[in-house]
Amino acid sequence: MRVAGSRVLVTGAGHGLGFAIAEAFARAGAHAVITDLDPERVSAAVAKLPGATGYALDVTKPEQIADVRARLATSPIDILVNNAGVAFGGPFLDVPLAKHFATINVNLAGLIAVTHAFLPDLLARPAAHVVNICSASAFIALPHGTTYAASKWAVLGFTDSLREELWVKQQRNVSVTAICPGFITTGLFGGARPTKGVNWLTPEAVALAVVRAVEKRREFVMLPRAHRIMYALTAGLPRGVYRGLCRVMGVSRSMTGWTGHQQ
């Protein structure tokens, strides 16, 4: 797919990974549409990207999503990147129920709501793309991050199912990609420890992978390379053996020291 000249809407793009994605698309010649919960972050991000536009958006508020879509009616988007997300670490019973629900509402329900609103516009384009930011935790158990992992497992299922539905309906002008990175140095996972032998990812590296995935119409991207190798080698193992390997590699304790974004 040709990125240059396209219009790209990125949710949660006021900072961190979302901004890096918007910036990477802008460098590739796309027009970035930045949305974020915080209006001040939207303004700051737009000021850094010449030609970008931005809107305050809470992805859990359908009326706000509808308003942003209406504002873009005369210049519909070609690419949607569902990036907005939250994470709350800690033992399951120690995390307030409200934060568990917030995780599901933002990471899953918000993503579905935004996609539901903008998919008709994408289907009307000659070529379009949906990118859902999942996580490596969509494949593994994540103690001290139970509902975060649950939301990402669900996002991956939604992504794969939507892609197949569009294929069945012969609406093949819209491609759908799942991006599944490990821990990223944005502060969201401060205090966490990556799997043994795996380094932290930078937002810029993940953002570049997103742009390339759209250009090449890739269905699935897992980062970093060590995660791809581990997934390929262990996918067929019995579940008990796989869990034991995750314990040995430190996956099961990766979130015990989480000190990430608290708000």
- How far is CA 98 from each of CA 62, 101, 186, rounded to the nearest angstrom? 20, 5, 23
Write out the H or E segment, with its range, that includes residue 55: strand 53-56
Q: Confidence band (pLDDT; 50, 70, 90) for 226?
A: confident
CA–CA separation, 197 and 217 (whole Å):
30
Write out the H or E segment, with its range, that includes residue 241: helix 239-249
CA–CA separation, 22 and 251 (whole Å):
30
What does the pLDDT average to over 130-156? 95
Of 55, 148, 231, 242, which residue is the catalytic one? 148
pLDDT in tens, 167-211: 999 999 999 999 999 999 998 888 888 888 788 999 999 999 999
Query: Would you state the pLDDT for residue 244?
Result: 86
Query: Would you state the pLDDT for residue 262?
Result: 54
Burial of 42 (0-12, 13-18, 19+ CB in 10 A): buried
CA–CA separation, 193 and 176 (whole Å):
30
Tally Cβ neighbours within 10 Å of residue 28: 18
Query: Would you state the pLDDT for residue 194?
Result: 85
Average pLDDT, the chain: 94
**In CATH terms, is domain 7-253 a member of 3.40.50.720?**
yes
pLDDT in tens, 80-127: 999 999 999 999 999 999 999 999 999 999 999 999 999 999 999 999
**Statement: residue 263 has pLDDT above 60:** no
**Statement: residue 153 has pLDDT above 60:** yes
Q: What is the pTM of this model?
A: 0.94
Query: Between 110 and 50, whose confidence is greater?
Result: 110
Q: What percent of the chain has pLDDT over 70?
A: 98
Query: Would you state the pLDDT for residue 195?
Result: 80
**Statement: residue 77 has pLDDT above 70:** yes
**Statement: residue 13 has pLDDT above 70:** yes
Q: What are the residue boundaries of the structural domains of the chain, listed by start?
A: 7-253
Cβ neighbours of residue 124 closer than 8 Å, sequence gap 6 or more = 76
Query: Would you state the pLDDT for residue 237?
Result: 77
Query: Would you state the pLDDT for residue 251?
Result: 81
What does the pLDDT average to over 156-163? 98
Tally Cβ neighbours within 10 Å of residue 169: 9
Whether residue 143 has a cis bond before it, omega within 30° of 0: no
Which residue's structure tokens are 């944005």? 186
Q: Confidence band (pLDDT; 50, 70, 90) for 5?
A: very high
- Quickly list DSSP for 12-39: T-SSHHHHHHHHHHHHTTPEEEEEES-H
Instruction: Please report the sign of the dihedral spanned by the C-alpha atoms of residue 250, residue 253, residue 257, residue 261.
Output: positive
Looking at 49-202, list the stretches that DSSP marks H as alpha helix, in order from N- to C-terminal side. Answer: 62-71, 97-104, 111-123, 146-168
Q: What percent of the chain has pLDDT over 90?
A: 78
In the annotation, is 231 catalytic?
A: no
Which residue's structure tokens are 């210049």? 75
Residue 238 amino acid letter: P
- How far is CA 139 from each of CA 109, 161, 242, rounded to the nearest angstrom? 20, 16, 11
Query: Would you state the pLDDT for residue 95?
Result: 96
